A and B are shown apart, each in its own frame.
Chain A
Amino acid sequence: MSDARPEPTAMASTTEPVPAPAGAPAPPPTVQVRVPPRSWRSEVRAVKIVWRRELIRFQKDRMRIVTSLVQPLLFLFVLGSGLQQLSAASTHGVDLKTFIYPGVLCISVMFTAMFSAASIVWDREFGFLREMMVAPVRRSSIVVGKCLGGATVSSLQGLILLALAWAVHVPYSVGLMLGVFGLQLLLAFSVTAFGVMVAARITQMQSFMGVMQMIVTPMFFISGALFPSGDLPGWLAFLNRIDPITYAVAPMRTLVFDNLNLSAEASHTLNPPITWFGWEVPVALQIFMVFALGMVMLGIAIAEFNAGE
């Protein structure tokens, strides 16, 4: 049917006058560019630029920095000060704000990381995702860059809360700072990877935020960020142990409490070790679990983006 006649010489036959661009200046000298074949170096460059884009955007979006501080501060100061009246007796003299503080360090990065992952949904809606998807680099580089970017941005946000340690009677120390920052980075990376994995499937902003809230909020509440995970009722203890966030909150609390002079009693009530059928799960294993889960979700996210579009 389609009688395609290759007639490459036909080019010059139409010489309709083309309006020149306004005030057409002499064309500048041509700079020819050669795009090199794909190599690991080009992949590293791609990861780096996607990562940097997240930082630039974060820096330009001051509003987001402020708004995402509201929730953690509410938990810390309003809930913490409010419930203090009820709980003073059973916390062995420890301020409830101090107790909640490690949990709040976690929540702040979790919700910021969620927003970072949401930006992939925005990117799709505003078309920018397409620009990245047609680039001659692996999709995995783009997903990795995105996750690292989300993790970095969230941890920077977490630094603001870390600075508030004095307000909840936690003394500053280099070890504490580095440890908290490292844990936040890890948690933020895993949550971002989770978000990106969800974003590969859910392409509308409203549904995405809905799904994320529905999953992340319960995980946060169950994790023991706001209560000790020692003597919970059976059903809650079960949910608590299968909640991945538990294994980010517990090391965070141990880290913070190690910097305080607490009585053995207080320490045992407020920061009981996480147990599986009576077996104490080592802190290193807990941290490793958060990392491993993050990597698995990153893998799934990459596979989904490779298959899609």
Chain B
Amino acid sequence: MTAPAISVKRLRKSFGDFEAVKGVSFEVATSEVFGFLGPNGAGKTTTINMLCTLTKPTSGHAEVAGFDVVAACDDVRRHIGLVFQDQTLDGYLSAEQNLRLHAELYGVEKSVVKPRMEQVLRMVGLWERRDSQVLTFSGGMRRRLEIARGLMHSPRVLFLDEPTIGLDPQTRASIWGYIRQLQQSEGITIFMTTHYMDEAEFCGRIAIMDGGEIVALDTPGALKEAVGADRIRIETADDERAIAALGERFGLEATVSEGAVSFAVAEGEAFVPRLFAELDVPIKAVNLSRPTLDDVFMSHTGSTIRDAEESAAKNKNRAVMQVMAGRR
């Protein structure tokens, strides 16, 4: 087995009092598609920024493509491609000029600039539009162009920070197509963050991040298996009484999230008739689902990804206000 493409040991980052990343450790193998899943504010972007040499870790150690992200940050930069969450193209330039600029900045050998550009632009379906100003591109086209740009210098690791956020389903699908293609044709290691549960399933392995920590790390299949049970969500007239009754009568632990009582049970289909017969709280609606990554997230963190996002946003705002107050 070759050396891992990324290896991280007890990586930590704090901003003032706020600890954004609380000592994470993991390894990513060469040509693996590795996903970082978690709500906004979980520390995904901070971790990615440390791996890309954009942010200095507070402590801990990380290697990307065999180079230390602090001591050899230039070597790291030469071997990684980056696609940021917000777009970083020059709208005044054409697609081709943007790629050429990137090639020059990365010192790509002059003779291969043209063929490589054609290859990556054809891959993302923008070869015909290469002379158009980027200002005239749609959001999806820009994201595709950014992926092409990130590939101009044949990186060994491609970092994608929320690559499909805010895109239409078709573009999202094609971006996943490129990712698969890349992995097969160039053996690139892909490290991506997402907070779309359905997308995380395309990854080889997933690390679930919450509150600056990795709470679970495995293949999507294994993560779901570990949850095991089906999940039932019911809307009732009185949630508190329903939770108490579920506990007493069935020995089930239920929680309220997003306005519904939810709990896990081994054989959901068989359980629903019993539920209606025996629960003395009126049920308004019922929903049964097979385990998804949402449930995995829920079982590890005790909240849905949306709830986690809201509380993370509050924490972050508080931290930002503290930092700003501290400056005065």
Chain B residue at minimum C-beta to C-beta distance from A60 = B92
Identify which of residues 10-35 in chain B touch chain A, using a CB-to-CB cut-off of 8 Å. Answer: 22-27, 29-33
A 4-41 to B, binary, CB cutoff 8 A, 1 in contact else 0: 11111111111010111110110111111111111101
Proximity bits, B182-225, A CB within 8 Å = 1, else 0: 00011000000000000001111101000001110111111000
Residues of chain A contacted by B316 (CB below 8 angstroms): none
User: Is B108 a contact partner of A35 (Cβ separation < 8 A)?
Assistant: yes
**Residue B77 is within 8 A (CB to CB) of chain A in the complex:** yes
CA of A5 to CA of B133, assembled, Å = 46
Q: Chain A: interface residue count, which band?
A: 35 or more
Give the B interface residue count (CB, 8 A): 79
**CA A56 to CA B1, docked complex, whole Å:** 48
B160 close to chain A: CB less than 8 A: no
Partner among A3, A14, A18 whose Cβ is within 8 Å of the Cβ of B204: A14
The stretch of A44-52, A230-238, A253-261, A268-276 in contact with B is A44-52
Chain A contact residues: over half helix, strand or loop, or mixed? loop
Q: Among residues 112 to 150 in chain B, which have CB atoms less than 8 Å away from a CB atom of chain A?
A: 112, 115-116, 118-119, 122-123, 125, 133
- The answer to whether A53 touches B204, judged by C-beta atoms less than 8 angstroms apart, is no
For window 95-110 of B, CB contacts with A under 8 Å fall at: 97, 100-102, 104-109
Instruction: Report yes or no: B105 in contact with A21, Cβ–Cβ below 8 A.
Output: no
The contact sample of 17 A-B pairs, CB cut-off 8 A, is A4-B27, A4-B217, A6-B29, A7-B218, A10-B218, A20-B177, A21-B178, A22-B170, A22-B174, A28-B123, A45-B104, A45-B107, A56-B97, A57-B92, A60-B92, A131-B105, A136-B78
A: residues with CB less than 8 A from B are: 1-14, 16, 18-22, 24-25, 27-39, 41-42, 45-46, 48-49, 53, 56-57, 60-61, 123, 126-128, 130-137, 309
B contact set with A: CB distance below 8 Å: 1, 4, 8, 22-27, 29-33, 52-54, 74-75, 77-79, 82, 84, 86-93, 97, 100-102, 104-109, 112, 115-116, 118-119, 122-123, 125, 133, 152-154, 170, 173-174, 176-178, 180-181, 185-186, 201-205, 207, 213-215, 217-222
